[in-house]
Structure 1
């Protein structure tokens, strides 16, 4: 089923980021292979960070294009989300200029709402037909998103508590969700956390009828704390959570 058309809670795979893990994919070919493994395990959307030959994350148009081509060959009809995070290029104007040069476009981008210049990035990509996943890493991000007026132009919201303590992550996810509810924003939500806390955030989200995300960008470990082999194993565990806990 096309993930754009589904009304069911979705399972997203976050394939890499700059995670220090032996299985983290960085080349277009290894990213595509990990995307295929994630999709085979149940992922409906794949999220990725392109890398330059130097091994650094990049917004370079050629690297983005090559990565998108490889993933689309490996995973036809699967929506692809690309990061626009400031950690890749901290200068807002430089980031905007690099993204404006993209020749191959993803289906979606994640756009962290607390970052300087993110409104301009969203406007640029919306104008080119790219859907926006609004990333909310904190209550302040959620409040900024409410005030931005972008909600009715976004595909979904990513609820992304950053604290690694499980209890703290649960509290942060609940607080972000509350801000959205009080503002009447009813966009589909996809929740994830960081490290071991990601799993309790996922379980809470499933019980509340939301989508979830996992993968090496979010956590290198399984629910019991042992190191995951790769994205396929992480997604398989998350698919099990969805099957077990979905209301």
Structure 2
């Protein structure tokens, strides 16, 4: 079970007193969360104004600083349209990256996502397929990307735990029908952050926590920083793993989530494959509505 610290997300600077934005803040936070027990970090790079950015001149020095601060720790970077809303420009920016992350998240419900995923795979970056809806899982199946991505990141956006888990289960069902056996990570936000973390731990899945998803602990009180969230997650998942045999395996606060999700699907982990050919040329970006229509046909 991996614990991924998602440090800042698309939150505005100042949303939390300890939200890391600058390179110095991000490197300091990265060291702190790794010391607290995180296995990997996920970041949304920021420019000098604190806005999300995929510009190579923003990413390159940040990646170098992070590599020096947390050597050997995998680093994941967003490619969300919140960082660059123009799909064409986003493709161009990623194509010009010099210092590459270990992995990148690609939200398959966003326009141009399939092209971005293939570009990253060609550039030997591990792609975590962001699945917010059953349709995004169908895109993963229909495009053949499942053979090359390294994980499925299930991120239901529903505001209640019941609805979020129902959506996650539907996404899982789509993946199961397509025989996609990737590692599955589960990530909630705000009110669903801790219940979904508990459900992920109970199912043996990888999980994410950090100020990107929540600024509060399980008790509802605001946390001091990302390291506090990671420390709580480590403690909480240890309690889950140590739960008495025969019980549901969830943290006691969320026994009602028993059997909400299937297991982690680790029988085949896709790997980042070595490429000997040049990157594919830019193709026409397809709107996701078109994909949805073809998938339902």
**Above 0.5 in TM-score?**
yes
1:17 match:
9
> Residues 43-93 of structure 1: CA distance to partner in whole angstroms, max 9, x if unpaired?
111000110001110011011011111111111000000000011111110
Q: Give the match's secondary structure for 1:196.
A: helix
Alignment of 1:83-94 (within 5 A): 83-94=78-89
1:115 match:
110
Distance of 2:239 and 2:178 partners within structure 1: 31
Cα deviation, residue 179, structure 1:
1.6
2:121 match:
126
Alignment of 1:133-212 (within 5 A): 133-212=128-207
Task: Give the superposed CA RMSD.
Answer: 1.1
Q: Give the match's secondary structure for 1:64.
A: helix
> Residues 113-154 of structure 1: CA distance to partner in whole angstroms, max 9, x if unpaired?
111111111111111111101111112211221212100101
Distance of 1:55 and 1:241 partners within structure 2: 32
**Contact 1:159-1:176 within 8 A present in 2 as well:** yes
1:26 match:
21
Cα deviation, residue 34, structure 1:
0.9
Distance of 1:22 and 1:137 partners within structure 2: 28
Are residues 1:244 and 2:239 paired?
yes
Cα deviation, residue 196, structure 1:
2.2
1:62 match:
57
1:217 match:
212
Q: Give the match's secondary structure for 2:190.
A: coil
Runs of 4+ in 1 over 4 A off after TM superposition: none
Which protein shows a greater Rg? 2
Structure 1 stretch displaced more, 50-59 or 164-173: 164-173
Distance of 1:34 and 1:171 partners within structure 2: 33
Distance of 1:152 and 1:170 partners within structure 2: 26
Q: Give the match's secondary structure for 1:197.
A: helix
Unaligned runs of 5+ in 1: 1-8
Distance of 2:134 and 2:194 partners within structure 1: 20
Equivalent residues, number: 239
TM-score, scaled relative to structure 1: 0.93
> Residues 83-106 of structure 1: CA distance to partner in whole angstroms, max 9, x if unpaired?
000111111101001111111110
Cα deviation, residue 199, structure 1:
0.8
TM-score, scaled relative to structure 2: 0.78
